[in-house]
Amino acid sequence: MPEPTPFHPRTSALCRSLFWKEWAGYHAVRSFDTVIDPEYFAFRHAAGLIDVSPLFKYDVSGKDAADFLSYVMVRDIRKLQVGRVAYSCWCDDDGKAIDDGTITRLGDDLYRVTSAEPSFRWFDQQAEGFDVVISDRSRDIAALSLQGPRSREILKGAVGSGVEGLRFFRVMEGKIGKTPVHITRTGYTGDLGYEIWVEPKGALAVWDAIMEAGKIHGIRAAGLDAMDITRIEAGFILLGVDYKSSPHCDIEEQKSSAYEIGLGRLVNLDRPSFIGQRALREEKERGSEWAMVGLDISWEELEALYDAYGLPPHLPAQAWRENIPLYKEGRQIGRATSGTWSPTLKQNLALATVEAEFGALGTHLEIEVTVEWERRVVPATVVQTPFFNPQRKRS
Amino acid sequence: MAKSYDAIIVGGGHNGLVCAAYLAKAGRSVLVLERRHVLGGAAVTEEIYPGFKYSVCSYVVSLLRPEIIRDLQLPRFGLEIIPLKCSFSPLPDGDALCRWDDPELTRREVARFSPRDAERLPEFSKSLLKMSQFVKPLLSLTPPDPCSKNPNDLLELLKVGRRARDLGPEALTRLVKLMTMSSADFLDEWFESDVLKAPMSVSGIIGTFLGVRSPGTAYVMLHHYMGEIDGAFRSWGFARGGTGQISNAIADSARHFGAEIRLEAPVSEVKVHRGKSTGVVLEGGEEIDAKVVISALDPHRTFFKLVGPQHLDPDFTAKMKRYRMRGSSGKVNLALDGVPEFVSRPGVGPHLEGDIAIAPSVNYLERAYDEAKYGNFSSKPYMNIVIPSLVDPSVAPPGKHVMSIFVQYAPYHLKEGASAWPEKREAFGNAVIDTLAEYVPKIRDQILHQQVLSPWDIEQEMGLTEGNIFHGELGLEQLFFLRPVPDWAKYRTPIRNFWMCASGTHPGGGIMGAPGANAAGELLKTGAI
């Protein structure tokens, strides 16, 4: 039985649809309305406010904190300055990905790590020999994500000074009303946006203040279904959907390396030892087996296929996350792991894992489609991600 | 020597820009010449009053072809469309009908007026969807000439015929009815509730000088029904930043592919030499040569202003004169101090996030037409209202709003003559606000600024002949291979190297982009450039 988050009194009052799901042990709203468009478009045109408290949060402190994090992460965290945020993934000894998340440097020797699944045991196990303290703050910190082109104006109204100068992937301390908060310029929508971190006792006051400040800017409470569309448009992978955490895999074949989940750009190989370094270095030299790619599924062909059945094209109203076979000349060469119709781009998009040789941009593949219980295929092309990358994200 | 282009496009409306972008994308050198200081033609956003961005003329989008959005990468250049949440029809008795994006909510709303209609509505949608499926592929088709013996024309006609056959006898009958009946009669075959039929029937009269009981209007209803966003039929939306943002996105795409665009460059004439166009002359006297000249203006302006009858066959001129361009609508744009409060559903709410139709009954609409028939604007007009700032805060200062009111009927030809419009404008604006005040009593206190556009103003400002929003009415007699006139429905004109690419050609008006794209496709296919 999931439990309520600190924002539950507010989200449950607004959730007229009663569409909920379980997220990391908490009740989370899938969509407040039966139709998710307004929540999606709030993210893209005004601002959406979503409760992301179920994220796991760990504080890493002590004089070796930077060395320790650089040891567990594929990325060299020693370069991260105070007040900045970095995105990274962490791997097992074989270079297989465990999880991905953000690392925020809150002070000289204080970092906060977020993750999608529990990682305390893994971090703690690696900490031997480092002068660090790792504490699980997941229940002590509630979190809201405020995303969309108006989010800056709204936060300026709620927080006052300082927000305007907060640049992409930076953190600041502030107060909303009397409640102290941390604000990071981060998010999972690929848009201009912020995440607000607050102790549970101040959670409702923060929610109310942001909603109040947002009223004149078209703010809207948004749920996970709307965010799922935006995160695919932004090309963000999701643990448990687009890849599986290596400790949870039943067989070796289910595991993916940092390179194979498309995060090779984060891997700093040439530095002192870190977990997975040897395997990742070998993989870099040898070449990866799999590639994570973005796919543009031909809408014209899909329309023609449906038309041959006398049907209008049909798409699910929200993002999907079933594994769907991909083919090249009749041979299965991978799978799409999640996808969505992009209301902004007017494209039918998917994230996929394919045999590395088919990962080059512009490669033509075929994806399975079921129409009237018959399995057919339509063309799909490997394209660049992020699919959608507005300037305002970094502005 | 001055630079010469493969193509010059006269008019920077959305179709001219689409055509330019496709030609530039195909590697041709293209110059777009726009008379005004802003691009977009009738798809334009202007800050008439500081802080408030009016979508001055065209205010919603649905027909913009998704393949154009993809081909021209418009989202990359700033195009974002937000779907309308609902259709809200307040009634004079204080009640209201709201048709929502959620079918179950809509069913309950309609059932308050007629339980039968509530059950019938999904069947109706399905039936119209089938019609739309038939008509939709025709949108991106260059109309085949039914009198031609050219194998390509015959093949295309055969394809159209096959699709019609595949519809089956029942749907085909319905299609014929749709093509010939009035929207009110067509809806009578389906529904009983006037409250439901009235707002549905109006999509049959938009941009035409016809009433909801005039034959032929049922098809126009389908034309509007066909609008699609995201492959879903019948979704209308706002462009973020106003409809001008659509034009700007297309223009940026065109520039990206190498097209040149000049503002405040009015073309005075198309140079015609021995039945062939060779370029254009600007009002300042500057001459620019091009292999082809493409007009993105309406047909009347194209042939009677840019070219002139001296270069045309009298027979063609006669046909073109008969092409109907009767302007029938006006526009009122308001800057508001707050969210307007409707008597029938007070407060801010999702019912205001779609379009709001002042169309309380079929008789109301027909009466509005009666006045127009005899040369008056409707004292109680049909109005289609949107408040885009509720979902797109970028178009108004925080807490303030813009309201766009499409008003029908406002006949271009007043009984006192079109030139009487400047004197009548204020009275027309008052009629609109008075009507609105019956539903929103405090509206006058909220108005910070108002812009009133009669069809005469639309003609003066935007250059649309008679202020007709579709570059010519969407009547069956001037659609498909008859648009704008028979024999000249393939974007070509009687003058060699002189082409058309705007809403006066197939498939017609609305922010669709299809004429521009089809014209570019046809031009490239011929190898003319």
A294 and A370 co-located in one domain:
yes
Q: Which residue of A has its CA nearest to B65?
A: A346
**Which of A150, A310, A346 has its CB closest to that of B66?**
A346
Please name each of the domains of chain B with its CATH number.
4-43+61-82+241-324+469-526 (3.50.50.60), 101-235 (no CATH), 325-465 (3.90.660)
A48 and A145 co-located in one domain:
yes
A26 contact B CB<8A: no
Give the model's pLDDT for residue B222: 82
**Within a domain: residue A128?**
no
- Report chain B residues whose CB lies below 8 A from the CB of A45: 80, 82, 240, 391-394
Q: Which residues 72-101 of B have a C-beta within 8 angstroms of A? A: 75, 80-83, 85, 100-101
- Report chain A residues whose CB lies below 8 A from the CB of B67: 299-300
Q: Which residues 84-113 of A have a C-beta within 8 angstroms of B? A: none
**Within a domain: residue A267?**
no
**Which of A44, A303, A346 has its CB closest to that of B230?**
A346
B477 three-class SS = helix
B172 contact A CB<8A: no
Confidence of residue A100 (pLDDT cuts 50, 70, 90): very high
Give the model's pLDDT for residue B482: 87
Is the Cβ pair B70, A313 closer than 8 Å?
A: no
A175 and A312 co-located in one domain:
no
B373 three-class SS = helix
Note if the bond before A379 is cis, omega within 30 degrees: no
Q: Which of A179, A205, A222 marks a domain boundary?
A: A222
Give the model's pLDDT for residue A312: 82
B473 three-class SS = coil
Long-range CB contact pairs, B2-6, < 8 A, 24+: B2/B286, B2/B287, B2/B288, B2/B289, B3/B288, B4/B279, B4/B288, B4/B289, B4/B290, B4/B291, B5/B29, B5/B30, B5/B31, B5/B260, B5/B288, B5/B289, B5/B290, B5/B291, B6/B30, B6/B290, B6/B291, B6/B292, B6/B529
Q: How many CA atoms lie within 13 A of B436 on its CB side?
A: 27
**Within a domain: residue A277?**
no
Long-range CB contact pairs, B428-432, < 8 A, 24+: B428/B330, B428/B377, B428/B452, B428/B454, B429/B332, B431/B377, B431/B378, B431/B379, B431/B380, B431/B381, B432/B330, B432/B332, B432/B381, B432/B383, B432/B405, B432/B407
B70 contact A CB<8A: yes
Is the Cβ pair A310, B240 closer than 8 Å?
A: no
A212 and A355 co-located in one domain:
no
Instruction: Indicate the residue type of B457.
Output: D
Is the Cβ pair A218, B393 closer than 8 Å?
A: yes
Closest CA of chain B from A213, distance in Å: 10
Q: What is the CATH number of the domain that holds A362?
A: 2.40.30.110
The burial of A249, by beta-carbon neighbours within 10 Å (0-12 exposed, 13-18 middle, 19 or more buried), is given as middle
Is beta strand B237-239 parallel, antiparallel or unpaired with respect to B81-83? antiparallel
Backbone phi and psi for residue B404, each to the nearest 5 degrees, phi listed first? -110, 125
Distance CA B268, CA B35 (A): 10
**Which of A217, A307, A345 has its CB closest to that of B393?**
A217
A316 contact B CB<8A: no
Neighbours of B95 (CB within 10 A): 15
Q: In the numeric block, which tokens belong to residue B474?
A: 């969407």
Beta-carbon contacts below 8 Å between A and B: 78
A343 contact B CB<8A: yes
Instruction: Indicate the residue type of A277.
Output: Q
Instruction: Indicate the residue type of A61.
Output: S
User: What are the Cα distances from residue B319, in Å, to B11, B315, B485?
Assistant: 23, 6, 7
Distance CA B363, CA A304 (A): 42
Q: How many CA atoms lie within 13 A of A114 on its CB side?
A: 21
B346 three-class SS = coil
**Within a domain: residue A231?**
no
The answer to whether the beta carbons of residues A232 and A387 sit under 8 Å apart is: yes
Residues in chain B: 529
**Which of A33, A37, A300 has its CB closest to that of B83?**
A37
A45 and A148 co-located in one domain:
yes
Residues 6 or more apart whose CB falls under 8 angstroms from that of B408 comprise: B202, B205, B206, B328, B329, B330, B368, B378, B381, B382, B383
Instruction: For tokens 């890849």, name the residue.
Output: A243
Give the model's pLDDT for residue B230: 47
Closest CA of chain A from B469, distance in Å: 26
**Which of B81, B166, B398 has its CB closest to that of A216?**
B398
A293 and A190 co-located in one domain:
no
Interface with B, mutate which of A192, A346, A349, A369 (most B CBs under 10 A): A346
A177 and A43 co-located in one domain:
yes
Give the full edge-to-edge strand order of the sheet including B355-358. B96-100, B86-90, B355-358, B382-386, B401-408, B329-336, B447-453
Is the Cβ pair B80, A38 closer than 8 Å?
A: no
Nearest to residue B202, comparing CAs of B33, B382, B51, B332? B382
The pTM is what? 0.91
**Which of A34, A35, A300 has its CB closest to that of B67?**
A300
**Which of B82, B394, B399 has its CB closest to that of A216?**
B399
Is the Cβ pair A346, B102 closer than 8 Å?
A: no
Number of domains in chain A: 2
Residues 6 or more apart whose CB falls under 8 angstroms from that of B50 comprise: none
Q: In the numeric block, which tokens belong to residue B31?
A: 């110059």
Is the Cβ pair A216, B240 closer than 8 Å?
A: no
Q: Which residues 190-219 of A have a C-beta within 8 angstroms of B? A: 215-218
- Report chain B residues whose CB lies below 8 A from the CB of A41: 82-83, 391
A208 and A313 co-located in one domain:
no
Nearest to residue B86, comparing CAs of B382, B355, B445? B355
A164 and A26 co-located in one domain:
yes
Q: What is the CATH number of the domain that holds A35?
A: 3.30.1360.120
B347 contact A CB<8A: no
A150 contact B CB<8A: yes
Nearest to residue B240, comparing CAs of B396, B116, B104, B426? B396
Q: How many CA atoms lie within 13 A of B239 on its CB side?
A: 30
Confidence of residue A143 (pLDDT cuts 50, 70, 90): very high
Q: In the numeric block, which tokens belong to residue B94?
A: 């204080």
Neighbours of B498 (CB within 10 A): 25
The answer to whether the beta carbons of residues B58 and B35 sit under 8 Å apart is: no
Q: Which residue of A has its CA nearest to B400?
A: A216
Closest CA of chain A from B185, distance in Å: 27
Distance CA B211, CA B184 (A): 9
Backbone phi and psi for residue A266, each to the nearest 5 degrees, phi listed first? -90, -15
Q: In the numeric block, which tokens belong to residue B150?
A: 């050219």
Is the Cβ pair B231, A344 closer than 8 Å?
A: no
- Report chain B residues whose CB lies below 8 A from the CB of A307: 133
Give the model's pLDDT for residue B233: 40
Interface with A, mutate which of B80, B81, B98, B389 (most A CBs under 10 A): B80
Distance CA B327, CA B418 (A): 10
Q: What is the mean pLDDT of residues A11-16?
A: 98
Q: Which of A222, A243, A267 marks a domain boundary?
A: A222
**Within a domain: residue A281?**
no
**Within a domain: residue A273?**
no
Q: Which residue of B has its CA nearest to A34?
A: B102
Kindly report, residue by residue over A283-294, the tens digit of the pLDDT: 999 999 999 999
The answer to whether the beta carbons of residues A147 and A50 sit under 8 Å apart is: yes
**Within a domain: residue A229?**
no
A49 and A145 co-located in one domain:
yes
A206 and A294 co-located in one domain:
no
User: What are the Cα distances from residue A25, in Å, to A50, A116, A222, A353, B1?
Assistant: 17, 12, 19, 28, 75
Who wins on pLDDT, B81 or A244?
A244
Nearest to residue B133, comparing CAs of B163, B170, B177, B97? B163
H-helix or E-strand spanning residue B405: strand B401-408
Q: What is the mean pLDDT of residues A307-331?
A: 92
Q: Which of A222, A239, A256 marks a domain boundary?
A: A222
Q: What is the pLDDT along chain B (529 residues), one digit of tens a residue?
A: 468 999 999 999 999 999 999 999 999 999 999 999 999 999 999 999 999 999 999 998 877 888 899 999 999 999 998 888 899 999 999 999 999 988 899 999 999 999 999 999 999 988 888 888 787 778 778 888 888 888 888 888 888 888 878 878 888 888 888 888 999 999 999 999 999 999 999 988 988 899 999 998 998 888 777 654 444 444 688 999 999 999 999 999 999 999 999 999 999 999 999 999 999 999 999 999 999 999 999 999 999 999 999 999 999 999 999 999 999 999 999 999 999 999 999 999 999 999 999 999 999 999 999 999 999 999 999 999 999 999 999 999 999 999 999 999 999 999 999 999 999 999 999 999 999 999 999 999 999 999 999 999 999 999 999 999 999 988 888 888 889 998 899 999 999 999 999 999 998 888 999 999 999 999 999 988 8
B392 contact A CB<8A: yes
Kindly report, residue by residue over A181-207, the tens digit of the pLDDT: 999 999 999 999 999 999 999 999 999
Distance CA A279, CA A94 (A): 5
Interface with A, mutate which of B230, B400, B401 (most A CBs under 10 A): B230
Q: Which domain holds residue A19?
A: 8-53+141-222
Is the Cβ pair B75, A313 closer than 8 Å?
A: no
Distance CA A151, CA A136 (A): 29
What angle, rounded to 10 degrees, do the helices at A224-233 and A37-45 form? 50
Kindly report, residue by residue over B472-483, the tens digit of the pLDDT: 988 888 888 889
Neighbours of B426 (CB within 10 A): 10
Output the CA torsion sign for B55, B59, B61, B63: negative
A206 and A308 co-located in one domain:
no
Distance CA B164, CA B141 (A): 15
List the Cα angle B124/B130/B132 in 5-degree steps: 100
Is beta strand B382-386 parallel, antiparallel or unpaired with respect to B96-100? unpaired
Is the Cβ pair B230, A343 closer than 8 Å?
A: yes
Q: What is the 3-state secondary structure (H, E, C) of chain A?
A: CCECCCCHHHHHHHCCCCEEEEECCEEEEEECCCCCHHHHHHHHHCEEEEECCCCEEEEEECCCHHHHHHHHECCCHHHCCCCEEEEEEEECCCCEEEEEEEEEEEECCEEEEEECCCCHHHHHHHCCCCCCEEEECCCCCEEEEEECCCHHHHHHHHHCCCCCCCCCCEEEEEEECCEEEEEECCCCCCCCEEEEEECHHHHHHHHHHHHHHHHHHCEEECCHHHHHHHHHHCCCCCECCCECCHHHCCCHHHCCECCCCCCHHHCCCCCCCCCCHHHHHHHHHHCCCEEEEEEEECHHHHHHHHHHCCCCCCCCCCCECCCEEEEECCEEEEEEEEEEEECCCCEEEEEEEEEHHHCCCCCEEEEEEEECCEEEEEEEEEECCCCCCCHHHCC
**Within a domain: residue A233?**
no
Is the Cβ pair B353, A38 closer than 8 Å?
A: yes
Is the Cβ pair B80, A315 closer than 8 Å?
A: no
**Which of B85, B133, B350 has its CB closest to that of A312?**
B133
